[in-house]
């Protein structure tokens, strides 16, 4: 899944960038409100982590602006303010959740997972497709009870397909949700990862779950 971080504290932004990429997310970063507003309106994301106190354009202005323009991407606010009214104001302006600084990275991850589940058809931390089971909290994948080791990118691709099961995803859509906007969309990296997943998920089983739709893309079909 693809996450946009809008945070002017560069050290924190870079820590979050690195940590989320290690968890398998594609991450874009904006270090000021002007860039953050542009990217929130023009770059596809599954979730926005938005600091309130930003230079050039305030985080609350970004939030109200993107909501008025029809952007429905879930927004997790980061704030150093801990008053109830500040939190209420953020939620009333269209935020989906908030975290008060300082926070633990594990809590950020938990809130991100919850927001992504809320925004999909999946409402639990476990996804089951036929005899394939994905544990979103631990990133464990099992088929017929057997543990299948996956790299972070392999898991991220499989989870995205699982969250959109029975729906065709184009190579471009998959690439955009796995890598930041600097990545070459013409690369064949998605085909490489699909082949790896097929070898691990489907090759030893009669029922094949990963389906190629010629000229359109791929889907995970139950």
pLDDT of residue 17: 94
pTM value?
Answer: 0.68
pLDDT digits (tens, 9 = 90+) for 49-77: 999 999 999 999 999 999 999 999 999 99
Domain map of the chain by residue range? 2-118, 126-220
pLDDT digits (tens, 9 = 90+) for 73-88: 999 999 887 666 777 7
pLDDT at 189 > cutoff 90: no
List Cβ neighbours of 219 (8 Å cut-off, separation of 6 or more): 161, 164, 165, 166, 167, 168, 169, 210, 211, 213
Spatial distance between the Cα atoms of 198 and 132, rounded to a whole number of angstroms:
13
Mean pLDDT of the region 199-212: 92
CATH 2.40.50.140 for domain 126-220, yes or no, is no
pLDDT digits (tens, 9 = 90+) for 91-125: 888 899 989 888 999 999 999 988 987 766 555 67
pLDDT digits (tens, 9 = 90+) for 122-181: 556 788 999 999 988 788 999 999 999 998 888 888 988 998 889 999 888 888 777 665
Which CATH code fits 2-118? Answer: 3.40.50.2300
């Amino acid at each position: 899944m693809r996450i946009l971080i809008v945070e002017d504290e560069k050290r924190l932004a870079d820590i979050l960038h690195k940590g989320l990429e290690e968890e398998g997310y594609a991450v874009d970063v904006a270090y000021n409100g002007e860039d953050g507003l542009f990217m929130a309106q023009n770059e596809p994301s599954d979730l926005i982590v938005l600091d309130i106190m930003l230079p050039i354009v305030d985080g609350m202005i970004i939030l109200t602006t993107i909501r008025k323009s029809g952007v429905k991407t879930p927004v997790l606010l980061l704030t150093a303010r801990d008053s109830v009214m500040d939190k209420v104001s953020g939620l009333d302006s269209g935020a989906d959740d908030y975290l008060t600084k300082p926070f633990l990275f594990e809590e950020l991850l938990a809130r991100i997972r919850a927001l992504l589940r809320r925004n999909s058809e999946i409402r639990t931390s476990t996804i089951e497709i036929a005899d394939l089971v994905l544990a979103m909290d631990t990133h464990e994948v099992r088929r017929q009870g057997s543990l299948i080791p996956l790299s972070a990118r392999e898991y991220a691709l499989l989870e995205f397909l699982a969250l959109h099961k029975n729906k065709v995803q184009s190579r471009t859509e998959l690439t955009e949700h796995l890598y930041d906007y600097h990545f070459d969309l013409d690369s064949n990296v998605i085909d490489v990862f699909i082949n790896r997943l097929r070898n691990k998920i489907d090759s030893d089983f009669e029922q094949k779950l990963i389906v190629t739709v010629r000229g359109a893309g791929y889907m995970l079909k139950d």
